[in-house]
Structure 1
């Protein structure tokens, strides 16, 4: 059986998983690949890791096209994803409407679960927000940093801390059992990222890769995208 391989930001993992059966029924092909921090996935492609398509941030796809690693005409927007807060399913949701609210919530947490603060979109943003709020040094020892948002959220679900909280892409929160989406970041601290797909120049299965991109982005699957955390 033909298998389409991809390198993707963790934000798209739930959506890709949700479309695997439909893709197999349509093309007879399976899906395999890696999901992780977008910067690391882009560097894997640059280093020669085999992949038929990539799903990364719009900015990264543009760079990879300039580097002649992605076919420019294949690039298609999948949808926007917000960086949001998460709590364990058994814990009360937090209400964060202002920067002051967010500062208080983060200060009161005894563990803060986040993805890679250097290579992931959400992790980089967390670092920026902590600096903006003036509490980066204060909460540094409570940061629990993991290679990607999916891992960070699984660890949050299993946390034995008293008042843990997580911050990553909403799609990764929604896709993880044992935690719930607690709310958006407040005005001034928000981040909404457009995720985009493209066929790689070295794709072994470019036709099937294009078919997967079409499936990920078509109007018939708008509700699935929304339920997975993507906005149009």
Structure 2
């Protein structure tokens, strides 16, 4: 089967996969490619990896447009995704109403599962947050860092630690079996990131990519986006 090649932040993986059957039925194309830390995906596009569509943060897509790597006219917002807390299914939920309670929750955990703290949207935010609430050094040996949030959540689900916790984007939590979304980060600590689709400048035929973008953003799939963890109309 021919495929549409995609480079995407991990935040969009669950939504894209949920729409894949409808896309395949309509176009006869499967969806292949990579989902991971947005910085790594952007670098793959820059390196010339064959790509028909990219889904990354709005800020990064804008930068790629400035670099002439994506068609500015194709840029389309999908929705915002919050960074949130996760626990294993069956574990007590962990909530944080303010920075102090978030600090206490993280200090109480014996393992903290997060995505790449240098290349992923949520991981970069987590690193800043740990410094902000002054526990980066204290919990350094408990931090479990993985290439992306989906991988971090899979390892959280399989963890044998006594009281593990995870922090990544809500869509990656929602799409991983064995973990549940415990709650958003509190005011002053949160992050809501707009994810945006675009078509690379070198694509010879943009029609299939345009159709996938239409599916990802149409009113008919709004409930699917909401279930995945995308939020419409939320400001940063």
Corresponding residue for 2:219?
219
Residue 204 of structure 1: how far off its partner (Å): 4.4
In the alignment, the residues of structure 1 paired with residue 109 and residue 204 of structure 2 have an alpha-carbon distance, to the nearest angstrom, of: 47
In the alignment, the residues of structure 2 paired with residue 151 and residue 205 of structure 1 have an alpha-carbon distance, to the nearest angstrom, of: 33
Residue 206 of structure 1: how far off its partner (Å): 1.4
| Structure 2, gaps ≥5 residues long | none
Corresponding residue for 1:116?
116
Number of aligned residue pairs: 232
Residue 27 of structure 1: how far off its partner (Å): 1.4
In the alignment, the residues of structure 2 paired with residue 204 and residue 10 of structure 1 have an alpha-carbon distance, to the nearest angstrom, of: 26
In the alignment, the residues of structure 2 paired with residue 145 and residue 202 of structure 1 have an alpha-carbon distance, to the nearest angstrom, of: 34
Corresponding residue for 1:135?
135
Corresponding residue for 1:195?
195
- 1:133-166, Cα deviation, whole Å (9 max, x unpaired): 0000000010000000000000000000000000
Matched, 1:97 2:100: no
Aligned residue runs from structure 1 range 1-232, under 5 A: 1-232=1-232
SS in 1 for 2:176: coil
Residue 205 of structure 1: how far off its partner (Å): 3.9
In the alignment, the residues of structure 2 paired with residue 222 and residue 215 of structure 1 have an alpha-carbon distance, to the nearest angstrom, of: 10
Residue 225 of structure 1: how far off its partner (Å): 0.2
Large movers: runs of 4+ above 2 Å? none
In the alignment, the residues of structure 1 paired with residue 126 and residue 104 of structure 2 have an alpha-carbon distance, to the nearest angstrom, of: 15
In the alignment, the residues of structure 1 paired with residue 203 and residue 170 of structure 2 have an alpha-carbon distance, to the nearest angstrom, of: 30
CA contact (8 A) 1:4 1:205 kept: no
SS in 2 for 1:187: coil
Q: TM-score, normalised by structure 2?
A: 0.97
SS in 1 for 2:231: coil
| Structure 1, gaps ≥5 residues long | none
In the alignment, the residues of structure 2 paired with residue 130 and residue 204 of structure 1 have an alpha-carbon distance, to the nearest angstrom, of: 44
Residue 223 of structure 1: how far off its partner (Å): 0.1
In the alignment, the residues of structure 2 paired with residue 130 and residue 59 of structure 1 have an alpha-carbon distance, to the nearest angstrom, of: 23
In the alignment, the residues of structure 1 paired with residue 7 and residue 32 of structure 2 have an alpha-carbon distance, to the nearest angstrom, of: 9
In the alignment, the residues of structure 2 paired with residue 44 and residue 204 of structure 1 have an alpha-carbon distance, to the nearest angstrom, of: 19
CA contact (8 A) 1:171 1:228 kept: yes
SS in 2 for 1:201: coil
